[in-house]
Chains A and B, each alone.
Chain A
Amino acid sequence: MKKYGKAGFYLLLLAGAVVLPLLLNMSKKGKYQIITLTLAMVWAIATLSLNLVLGYTGQASLAHGAFLGIGAYTFAIFVERVGLNFWLALPLTCLFTAFLGALVGLPSLRTKGPYFAIVTLCFNVIVFKVFENWKWLSGGLQGQKVTIPSYLSEYWARYYVVLAFLILVLLIERQIVKSLLGSTFIAIRSNENLAEAVGIGSFRNKLLSFTVSCFLVGLAGALFAMVKGSVDSTVTNYLYSFYILIYLLIGGAATLAGPVVGAVGLYYLLDRIKSIGEFRYLAFGLILIVVIIYLPRGIVGGARQLWDWGKRQYNKREEVPE
C-alpha cells in the first residue's frame, strides 16, 4: 500500500509537470513562464550533477560552472562548425566534458577539502579568462549561434525535451545511489581514511564520481545552449559554480529531490523578483548563511527530518495505551 502511495505521488508530480505548460499557455505571460521553467530544469540537471560529487561523494567542486560552459560551447561548435546532427552532438558533448572532467580530476582530486574547492575554482577562472579573451573560440561579444532542428523551434517542445532529460538524469542518479557504487561514494564522504582502510580505492572512486558528474553537467550545458539559442563567454563564469552550489545546498544535498526543488524553486523565485535588481543576491547570500548554520541538510533534508520526528511522536502516542 505504502509503495503504491509513493509511486502514485511521483506519477501525480509527473502529470503536473506535463500538464503545466498547457495551463500556462492560457495565461497572458505563459510563454515567458514556460521558458523560465525550462531554464530552471536545465539548472536542476546541473545541480543534480553536482549532487553526485558533492552531496554523495563529499568533494566540493567549484568547476561546474566551467564545465557547464564548456558543454554549451562544445555542443554549439559540434552543431554549427562541424555540422553534426543534433542527437549525435548531444552524447558527444557529454563524452567530451566527461573526458575533460577526468583530465581535470586527475591532478585536482589529489587535494582535499577546501583545497579541492580552491583548485577547481582556479580552473574555472582560467576557463572563464580564456573564453573571454580568445575571440575565435568564444565568438566574441555576440557569441556563438546554435541552430536547432525545426521541430524543436517551439518553446514548449523544448520544455518537454528538457523535462524528459531531467527525469532520465534523476533515474540514472537514483540507480547510482542505490547501487554498491553509491554506498562506496557515501563511505568516502563520511570518512575517507576509514574507506581506504576497508579496501575502497578512494581516489579511483572520487575520479569516477567526478567524471560521471561532468558527463551530466555537459548535458546540462548542451541543453542550456539549445534553450538559449546562442552561447557567449558568460556561461563559463565562476559565479554559475556558486549558483549551482547554492541551489544544491538550499534544496538539500545528498537527496534526490533536493537539487530539483532548490534549482527550480530558487531560479523561478529569483526570476520573479528581478525588478529589485542586485539586492536579490543580498537575500541569496543571507539565506545561504542561515541555511548552512541552521539547516545544513537543506529544505528537503530538513523536511524529511521533521517528517521522521512527527512519525516517531505519532508512534509513541499509539504505543502508550497498550
Chain B
Amino acid sequence: MSFFFNQVIIGIQLGSQYVLVALGLTLIFGILDISHFAHGHMYMIGAYLLYIIVVRGGVNYWLALVVCMAALAVAGVVVERAVYRPLRGQPQINTFIAAIGLILFLEALVRGIQPKALSVPKPIDKNLNFLGTSMEVQRLIVIIGAIFFIVLLQLFIKKTRMGTAIEAMAQDREGAALVGISVNRMSALTFAVATALAAVAAVLMAPLAFVSPEMGSVLILKAFVIVVIGGLGSMKGAIVGGYLLGILEALAIAYVSSAYKDVFAFGVLIIILAIRPTGLFGGRDAV
C-alpha cells in the first residue's frame, strides 16, 4: 500500500509540472488562438537559465526562481512580438509552422552551446519520512509550489483588472476590443504570464531531472493533450487533466512498462479526438 501511495505522490508531482505548462498553453492557445508549440522549449530555456544562475552564478535557488520568471516573461513577450504578431490574421497553420521554426531555433541554439545533459543541485537535499514512506523534500516543494502558483494565477485572473481583461478577451474578442481592451497589450501580457508559469515548472522540476535540450518536446505534446482533452481555454480542465495524466503515467510506469508510457498518453489522445473531435469537455471549435 505504501508503494502505491508513493507512486500517487510521484504522479501528483509529475502532474504539477504538466498543470503549470498546460495552464500557460491553454491561455495562449485557448484565448489567443495561437498554437504555441514552442512553449515546451521556453520551459527548456528556463531550466538552462536556472543552471546558469544557480550553478555558474552561485545565486540562491529561491532568488533564481524569481529571476527566471522575470526573464522568461520578457522572453515570452519578445516571442509574441517577433514571431506571432506579424502572423496575426493568417491561417492558424502558419502560426503552427512558425512555432516549429522557433523549436528548431531554440533547440539548435542550446545544443550548439552545450550538448550534454546537466544537473542542478536540490535546494534542500533531504528525505522526509511520511506515513511510512520516504519522500524527497524536492518532490513536496514541486507539489506545494505548483499549488501556490495555480492559486496565484486564479487570483490574478479573477481579482485584478488585467486578469479580468484577459478573461473578457477569452469570452469575446470583438466585444473586448469594443470596450477598449487593447488586443496587442493583452496578448503580450498573456504570453508573459504563460511563459513565467513555464519558468516556474522548469525551476521546480530541474533538480529532479536532467536539464537537456530536448526536455521540452515531449512535455509540450503532453500539454497539448491535456489542453485538448480539458477543453480549449478552460483552466479547470487543464488543472484536472494535468494531475490526472501525471498520476496515470506514474502508475503506468510502476505497474505496466516505462518504455511505452508515452505510447499510452498519446494513444488515449488519438482515441478521444477520434470520438470527439473538439475535445472531451466540448470547448471551442478549432478552425
A280 touching B108, Cβ below 8 Å? yes
A242 touching B260, Cβ below 8 Å? no
Selected from B86, B104, B228, the residue in CB contact (under 8 A) with A284 is B104
Given contacts A108-B270, A112-B287, A119-B270, are A281 and B97 in contact (CB under 8 A)? no
Other than the known A122-B225, A125-B262, A293-B86, what 15 A-B pairs have Cβ atoms closer than 8 Å?
Answer: A60-B96, A111-B273, A113-B287, A114-B35, A115-B228, A118-B221, A121-B221, A242-B103, A277-B112, A278-B115, A282-B105, A285-B101, A286-B105, A288-B97, A293-B83
What are the residues of chain A within 8 A of B259 when measuring CB–CB? 129, 133
Selected from A119, A122, A130, A242, the residue in CB contact (under 8 A) with B100 is A242
B98 touching A288, Cβ below 8 Å? yes
Chain B residue nearest to A133 in the complex (CB): B259
Interface positions of A (Cβ within 8 A of B): 58, 60, 106-108, 110-115, 117-119, 121-123, 125-126, 129-130, 133, 242, 245-246, 249, 277-282, 284-289, 292-293, 296
A289 touching B260, Cβ below 8 Å? no
**B87-95, B116-124, B151-159, B172-180: which one contacts chain A?**
B87-95
Task: Report the bound CA distance from A126 to B225 in whole Å.
Answer: 14
Main secondary structure of the interface of B (DSSP, over half): helix
B111 touching A278, Cβ below 8 Å? yes
What are the residues of chain A within 8 A of B269 when measuring CB–CB? 118-119, 122
Selected from A111, A118, A133, A280, the residue in CB contact (under 8 A) with B224 is A118
A108 touching B274, Cβ below 8 Å? yes
B94 touching A292, Cβ below 8 Å? yes
B267 interfacial by beta-carbon distance below 8 Å: yes
B149 interfacial by beta-carbon distance below 8 Å: no
Given contacts A115-B273, A126-B267, are A296 and B94 in contact (CB under 8 A)? yes
Interface positions of B (Cβ within 8 A of A): 35, 83, 86-87, 90, 92-94, 96-98, 100-109, 111-112, 115, 218, 221, 224-225, 228, 259-260, 262-263, 266-267, 269-271, 273-274, 277, 286-287
Provide 10 A-B residue pairs closer than 8 Å at the C-beta atoms, listed in order of the A residue: A111-B277, A117-B93, A126-B266, A133-B259, A278-B112, A285-B102, A289-B83, A289-B98, A292-B101, A293-B98
Selected from A110, A125, A296, the residue in CB contact (under 8 A) with B90 is A296
Chain B residue nearest to A238 in the complex (CB): B217
Given contacts A122-B270, A133-B259, A245-B100, are A112 and B105 in contact (CB under 8 A)? no
Closest beta carbon of chain A to B165's beta carbon, Å = 25
Task: Report the bound CA distance from A203 to B98 in whole Å.
Answer: 27
Task: Report the bound CA distance from A69 to B287 in whole Å.
Answer: 30
What are the residues of chain A within 8 A of B87 when measuring CB–CB? 292-293
B112 touching A279, Cβ below 8 Å? yes
B277 touching A113, Cβ below 8 Å? no
What are the residues of chain A within 8 A of B108 when measuring CB–CB? 278-282, 284-285
Closest beta carbon of chain B to A210's beta carbon, Å = 14
Chain B residue nearest to A242 in the complex (CB): B100
A281 touching B104, Cβ below 8 Å? yes
Chain B residue nearest to A282 in the complex (CB): B108
Task: Report the bound CA distance from A126 to B266 in whole Å.
Answer: 7
Most B CB within 10 A of own CB, among A58, A121, A122: A122
Task: Report the bound CA distance from A125 to B225 in whole Å.
Answer: 13
Closest beta carbon of chain B to A198's beta carbon, Å = 18
Task: Report the bound CA distance from A277 to B104 in whole Å.
Answer: 14
What are the residues of chain A within 8 A of B94 when measuring CB–CB? 292, 296
Task: Report the bound CA distance from A293 to B112 in whole Å.
Answer: 25
What are the residues of chain A within 8 A of B262 when measuring CB–CB? 125-126, 129
What are the residues of chain B within 8 A of A118 when measuring CB–CB? 35, 221, 224, 228, 269
A117 touching B273, Cβ below 8 Å? no
Given contacts A130-B263, A293-B98, are A282 and B221 in contact (CB under 8 A)? no
Chain B residue nearest to A117 in the complex (CB): B96
Closest beta carbon of chain B to A112's beta carbon, Å = 6
What are the residues of chain A within 8 A of B106 when measuring CB–CB? 285
What are the residues of chain A within 8 A of B96 when measuring CB–CB? 60, 114, 117
Chain A residue nearest to B86 in the complex (CB): A293
Closest beta carbon of chain A to B45's beta carbon, Å = 14
What are the residues of chain B within 8 A of A115 when measuring CB–CB? 228, 273, 277, 286
